[in-house]
Amino acid sequence: MEVIKGNLPNLGPLSVAVKKNQMFYTSVIPVYRDGSFETGDFTKQAELTFKNLQALVEDAGGSLRDIVQVTVYLTDIHETPKMNEVWKEFFQDPYPNRATLGISSLTVPDLKIELVATAIIEQD
């Protein structure tokens, strides 16, 4: 198993992303490279989270087109329309499969979004 870092900090006893053979797995939040968090408005948090996803999959040798499944966790399900707008900035048709869930909170206070994603990165 290969650990993928994408220049993001490790925030606990976990790997930010991993790749084994063609399979890539990650969970991303709105965290900056210095370990600080974006705790501002939802759109800023979503943009940073999707940028982090992009950096990680690219560090693994893939692209956002390789993402096949995303689970989106939102602390306010009413933010889904805003999330969809950010989603369309990063993904194109055909879009990855997605589930969007409303949850009461995330591990870090004031965070509003977390993504769990899986990709299949073809080997050349």
Instruction: State the CATH number of the domain containing residue 84.
Output: 3.30.1330.40
- SS3 category, 84: helix
Task: Please give the pLDDT value at position 9.
Answer: 83
Locate 108 and state its tokens.
């870090």
d(CA 90, CA 95): 10
Give the separation between CA 2 and CA 66, rounded to whole angstroms.
17
Q: What is the pLDDT of residue 62?
A: 96
Strand segments (E) across the chain: 2-4, 17-20, 23-28, 67-74, 97-102, 113-120
State the average pLDDT for the chain: 94
**pTM value?**
0.94
pLDDT in tens, 71-113: 999 999 999 999 999 999 999 999 999 999 999 999 899 999 9
Peptide bond into 94 cis (omega under 30): yes
Q: How many whole angstroms separate alpha carbon 113 and alpha carbon 23?
A: 23
d(CA 69, CA 86): 17
Q: % helix / strand / coil in the chain, to the nearest 5?
A: 30, 30, 40
Distance of CA 29 to the CA centre of its chain: 6
Return the pLDDT at 46: 98
Q: Which pLDDT score is estimated for 8?
A: 83
**pLDDT at position 11, please?**
78
Domain that holds residue 81: 2-120
Residue 124 pLDDT exceeds 70:
no
Which tens digits make up the pLDDT trace of 2-55?
888 888 887 788 889 999 999 999 999 999 999 999 999 999 999 999 999 999
- The total domain count for the chain is 1
